[in-house]
Structure 1
């Protein structure tokens, strides 16, 4: 008798039996075995896939972290680059400013050299600092001399009258030496000191014909005389500075009209005031060649009058 497989299926409606041949039973068993193997293999593959996915997820997270770190580093580099760019721009601007200042300094020094009459006299290899130091010393020296020796006008806004030299005296009607310069001016016109000094005399001078007279004593043996004044603003023994108001023009003494009589003397010898009136910083050397009666050499030994004398 051939062997058969009987399969019984039970449900709520009852039981049914199915009869399979031996071959069909083997095939069914084989199918079930393959299905079971497939189930287990699928589970194994699923587990492996999950592990791979987890590994990929970790790798993805690591890459994201590296990417974020790279972005942060790049941002840091960009910020640093921007900072360096700004610093470079500031440095370039400062350098430009320094170059402009150096150019301005050179121009200012050249202008000062020209004003002081030192063009071409300073050493060509001298730096700006050395040039500045030399010019500063020369400026201080010259300003000191310009405050010590009479220079400039003693009265403002008026023309010159009778000059220094021989003239017909308007009072005596005879030719006689005129030791100063007259400045016709309304009574009460301010009079100014032409150098620093001390008031040697201030008051009415009997017998000279100067009337109200101020005599200022200056450095290096110089004196200045201001005559025919209407009023005095200083007293004998008082110190005065260049440009200080010392009195007012008038018509006192032997005078034919209101004016200022102004004299410059050196060791009591009258000197033409015109050279001193025209003397200043812009023509500093002119006085020492125009006025020959004064031993400027001894003064030059104390205060060199030009750069070549200092070298």
Structure 2
């Protein structure tokens, strides 16, 4: 009996006694100790895992902060590059002016003449004018009334709070306003990553070195490489990128140089000549001569058919 012990259970009906071997007692004790050990080690493991998760979260937060700092630095560098590019363009303009001063007198006098006097506008037909308006960006890239919230030129940056060159104009409008192509062209860039501050954007390549940019969009309709016609829907306005509110940032560039879009959005068939005097950075005489020749070539088959009839 030394290796056994008695367990007595008493209830209303009486009492019962059970003889249990010592080995059973040891087994029960081991099971209890095992359960306690498992619980103890599980608690320690869970605590270690929670600490590891916390460390990973802290590292993630630090990486996010570092990413934001790098992204902000990248935007500042991009803005600085844009400013330096503008300065380079201005220096190039000054060099061209100096070259004009020391050049031939005939060239200087020719430059001083009014473009309207040098270009025989009376000989340009309505079809040729329409052909020009189809190829070169003109009008507003949206329908209905519009509101310009920021003009082209030097201004105080609304976010960076320092003077910088605003290379386009901003139209204030609700998110989701349809945006249309101002001339025939091809979608050269669609999406994000072109310029960190531009957000979702579209770049259209037009004829004769003209390009147009549409920034801070919410949705793009055209695909990269797709040809578009004047008046075709290309995107919807938004508030993406470095923006203080819903608007469209619209740029016109010619041979890499940003131009004031305002004369172009005011350019119509009725006021056909105003653009030639307002925008001096384009050699309109040679450009119009080339376009008119292309227009004549395009009209030749029509004239031949009419002559045969």
Alignment TM class, shorter chain as reference: 0.5 to 0.7
Q: Which runs of 5+ in 1 are unaligned?
A: 1-120, 123-133, 306-311
**Separation in 2 of the partners of 1:234 and 1:175?**
34
- Off by >6 Å, runs of 4+ in structure 1: none
Matches within 5 A, 1:209-288: 209-288=197-276
SS at match of 1:145: helix
The equivalences for 1:61-210 within 5 A come to 138-156=125-143, 157-210=145-198
d(CA) in 1 for partners of 2:171 and 2:161? 20
Residue in 2 that maps onto 1:118: none
Q: SS where residue 161 of structure 1 aligns?
A: strand
Q: d(CA) in 1 for partners of 2:284 and 2:164? A: 29
TM-score by length of 1: 0.53
Structure of higher CA gyration radius: 1
Question: Distance between the aligned counterparts of 1:219 and 1:288, measured in 2?
Answer: 18
**SS, match of residue 205 in structure 1:** coil
Which secondary structure does the structure 2 equivalent of 1:276 belong to? helix
Q: Which runs of 5+ in 2 are unaligned?
A: 1-120, 294-309
Return the TM-score normalized by structure 2.
0.53
Name the CA distance, whole Å, in 2 between partners of 1:206 and 1:164: 20
Distance 2:223 2:165 in 1: 29
Check 1:257–1:226 CA distance in 2 against 1; reply closer, same or farther (3 A cut). Answer: same
How far has the Cα of 1:285 moved from its partner? 1.1
**What is the Cα deviation at residue 268 of structure 1?**
1.2
How far 1:239 moved relative to its partner? Answer: 0.5
- Alignment match, 2:12: none
Q: Secondary structure of the residue that 2:264 maps to in structure 1?
A: helix
Name the structure 1 match of 2:118.
Answer: none
- Alpha-carbon distance in 2 for matches of 1:240, 1:148: 11
- Pick from 296, 300, 304: which aligns with 2:284? 296
Cα shift readout 1:160-198 (whole Å, capped 9, x = no counterpart): 110001111111011110010101111101111110100
Moved more, 151-160 or 277-286: 151-160
User: How do 1:7-46 residues align onto structure 2 when only pairs under 5 Å count?
Assistant: none
SS of 1:297's partner is helix
RMSD: 1.8
